[in-house]
């Protein structure tokens, strides 16, 4: 497979959030959070950016800011399914050959990190790329909410993913890596991924990316310097306001 030449960025967004109601529309420095994420993705300069919206309210906010919004079925089971459906609607001819999936709750993400998740697809054997950062805080090593990417980086910045887990892994001395849920898919890889049934380890660990590994797909992990702020609570929202308002 060749290096993708026509990528697109898709941000999945839905209103349902148990800890922070109406999260995509939460105000951050005068704009809805989803618009702040759209701006960061646009700054990355990878390609067109569209928001895959589960509800009309999100689409209205995005289009009011000048962005592209695609409505999707609100009952889709995952963000990957939402990205896929939006892409099929926006580009039924398949002219975009890779898709960068940026989470809709990362309003402070560095545009360089979005670019970093695209670069591993220069390797023709890679189907999917994602990100990780070295864990610095001891409590994160044993926290099951901090997903670990198991990969052997050596002295490099990109490595093949061998596993993803909520456990503390790998065993022994050495760094552990915090997985960051941004992905780039080759278009054909995304088509295949969403067509596969949920896999055994995926269901056990509650980690969607294990479906790809269990089915023989190659995931590459690129190292970045830190974990972006994900907004899940009111406290996270206040922190994002401080960062972007500074």
Q: Express each pLDDT in 159-185 by its tens digit.
A: 999 999 999 999 999 999 999 999 999
Across 13-34, b (16+ Cβ under 10 Å) vs e yields bbeeeeebeebbbbebeebbbb
Whole-model pTM?
0.95
The distance of Cα 7 from the centroid of its chain, to the nearest Å, equals 15
Across the range 82-107, mean pLDDT stands at: 96
The number of CA neighbours under 13 Å toward the Cβ of 32 is 21
The number of CA neighbours under 13 Å toward the Cβ of 43 is 14
Q: Looking at residue 17, what is its pLDDT? A: 72
Across the range 82-97, mean pLDDT stands at: 96
Sign of CA dihedral 146, 51, 15, 20: positive
Backbone φ and ψ of 71, nearest 5° = -75, 140
Q: Quick one: what percent of the chain has pLDDT higher than 70?
A: 100
Task: Give the DSSP per-residue string, 112-138.
Answer: HHHHHTTGGGGSTT-SEEEEEEE--SH
Q: Is the pLDDT of residue 2 over 90?
A: no
- Domains of the chain are 7-104 (3.90.550.10), 110-227 (3.90.550.10)
DSSP annotation of 52 reads: E
Q: Looking at residue 149, what is its pLDDT? A: 98
Q: Is the pLDDT of residue 125 over 80?
A: yes
Asked if residue 35 lies in contact with residue 96, where contact means CB atoms within 8 angstroms, the answer is: no
């Amino acid at each position: 497979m060749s290096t993708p030449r026509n990528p697109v960025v898709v941000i999945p967004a839905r209103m349902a959030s148990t800890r922070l109601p109406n999260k995509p529309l939460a105000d951050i420095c005068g704009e809805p959070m989803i618009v702040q994420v759209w701006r960061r993705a646009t700054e990355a300069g990878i390609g067109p950016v569209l928001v895959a919206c589960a509800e009309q309210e999100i689409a209205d906010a995005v289009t009011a800011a000048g962005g592209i919004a695609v409505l999707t079925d609100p009952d889709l089971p995952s963000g990957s399914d939402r990205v896929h459906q939006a892409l099929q609607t926006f580009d039924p001819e398949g002219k975009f050959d890779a898709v960068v999936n940026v989470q809709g709750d990362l309003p402070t993400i560095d545009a360089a990190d979005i670019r970093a998740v695209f670069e591993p697809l220069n390797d023709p054997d890679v189907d999917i790329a994602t990100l990780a950062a070295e864990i610095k805080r001891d409590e994160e090593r044993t926290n099951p909410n901090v997903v670990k990417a198991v990969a052997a980086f050596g002295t490099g910045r990109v490595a093949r993913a061998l596993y993803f887990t909520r456990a503390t892994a790998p065993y022994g001395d050495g760094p552990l890596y915090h997985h960051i849920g941004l992905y780039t898919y080759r278009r054909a890889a995304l088509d295949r991924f969403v067509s596969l049934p949920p896999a055994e380890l995926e269901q056990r660990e509650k980690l969607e990316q294990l479906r790809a590994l269990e089915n023989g797909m190659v995931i590459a992990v690129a190292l970045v310097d830190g974990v972006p702020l994900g907004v899940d609570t009111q406290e996270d929202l206040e922190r994002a306001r401080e960062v972007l308002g500074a």
